[in-house]
Amino acid sequence: MRRREFITLVGGAIACPMGVRAQQQAGKVPRIGYLGVTSPSDRPPLLDAFRQGLRELGWVEGQNIVIDYRYAEDRVDRLPDLAAELVRLKVDLIVSEGTQGVTAAKNATETIPIVMIAVRDPVGTGLIASLARPGGNVTGVSGSAGLEIVAKQLELLKETVPKIRRVAILSNPANAYHQLAIREVNVAARSLGVQLQLLEARGPNEFDGAFAAMAKERVGALLVLSDAIFGSHRTRLADLAARSRLPAAFGVRDDVEAGGLMSYGPSILDSYRQAATYVDKILKGAKPADLPVEQPMKFELVLNLKTAEALGLTIPPLILFQADEVIR
């Protein structure tokens, strides 16, 4: 074999993953089904991080892999049909974010591997058997290190606004994780000497009613539980909180950029990037049941000083010292 031909052959072997070569030799390019709860315009950098993670592992969309996208456009009731559609397309695996999306995918198939992103409590919601041995066809990246994160969010909100005595909790009854989180935050509230007002909203058409109830009950602050639908409408939620003069805490950094007072939680961007490693392993032959679920190792506290100033709040020095990022 000539030297140039040898270099070309070796270079091609390095650039093309084993799983792809095997499937291309069989005349098939791997297909990923992406099931989105919101819309393509909701936080494009997240999908960019996922695609970049794939590229770093040798998978290039449109070249040696195909991604079929399906979006519920904030309508959770559409998720089962969209998941079923991906199953009919016979995709090699399904990727989805959040409890609602992954639940719909799991209900649609017991055989196609599912890679989850940012599911807050996959064990508690019944999506996997355990983090170390998920079992079944679901694995991926958890969105927290346990329910303790919501207790920490409430604790940080209380430390940031020490005078608050009554806090509204906004949850989505369609999100199974929120049922677990509410129990945890109730325990934290008792230890912090805070009364809670539990309010629900399935989507933006129910936001105004929830905030009207907050005004009626004269709550002093708001904690918004992490949810794909809430995240999609983060700017409106932040605006409603500002108009209601409510310091609002969230679980995702993007919510603070949209005008929320503070957030505490993992980097969702990192979760999307990590999800690519699961796709890579599964397409190379690994079984989801044998791939341990990763938990985020780093949690970030983000503060918005412009929002604090608009609310007439002075952030305590200790909270400022703990902050990983301050938006001025």
Query: pLDDT (tens digit, 9 = 90+) per residue, 154-197?
Result: 999 999 999 999 999 999 999 988 989 999 999 999 999 999 99
pLDDT(18) > 50: no
Q: Which two tokens stand for residue 113?
A: 């591997």
Q: Which two tokens stand for residue 295?
A: 């938990």
Q: What is the pLDDT of residue 298?
A: 84
Comparing 11-15, 28-32, 225-229, 291-295, which segment has the lowest mean pLDDT? 11-15
The alpha carbon of 136 is separated from its chain's Cα centroid by a whole number of angstroms, namely: 21
For the chain, the average pLDDT equals 90
- 292: DSSP letter: P
228 vs 49: CA distance, rounded Å: 17
Q: What is the mean pLDDT of residues 199-214?
A: 96
The percentage of residues in the chain with a pLDDT greater than 90, rounded to a whole number, is 82
Query: In 10 A of CB 140, how many CB atoms?
Result: 31
pLDDT(203) > 60: yes
The percentage of residues in the chain with a pLDDT greater than 70, rounded to a whole number, is 91
Find tokens 């604790």 and name the residue.
155
Q: What is the mean pLDDT of residues 111-138?
A: 94
Using only C-alpha atoms, the chain has a radius of gyration, in whole angstroms, of 22
Q: What is the pLDDT of residue 26?
A: 52
Q: What is the pLDDT of residue 148?
A: 85
Query: pLDDT (tens digit, 9 = 90+) per residue, 254-272?
Result: 999 999 999 999 888 899 9
pLDDT(22) > 80: no
Q: What is the mean pLDDT of residues 27-34?
A: 90
Query: pLDDT (tens digit, 9 = 90+) per residue, 139-158?
Result: 999 977 667 899 999 999 99
Higher pLDDT among residues 80 and 20, named by residue: 80
List helix spans (H) across 144-290: 148-160, 176-192, 207-217, 228-232, 234-243, 253-257, 268-283
Comparing 35-49, 61-75, 133-147, which segment has the lowest mean pLDDT? 133-147
43 vs 118: CA distance, rounded Å: 14
pLDDT(199) > 90: yes
Q: What is the pLDDT of residue 241?
A: 98
The closest alpha carbon to 81, from 56, 61, 101, belongs to 101
Q: What is the pLDDT of residue 27?
A: 55
Query: In the beta sheet, which residues pair with residue 66?
Result: 31
pLDDT(20) > 70: no
Q: What is the mean pLDDT of residues 284-309?
A: 95
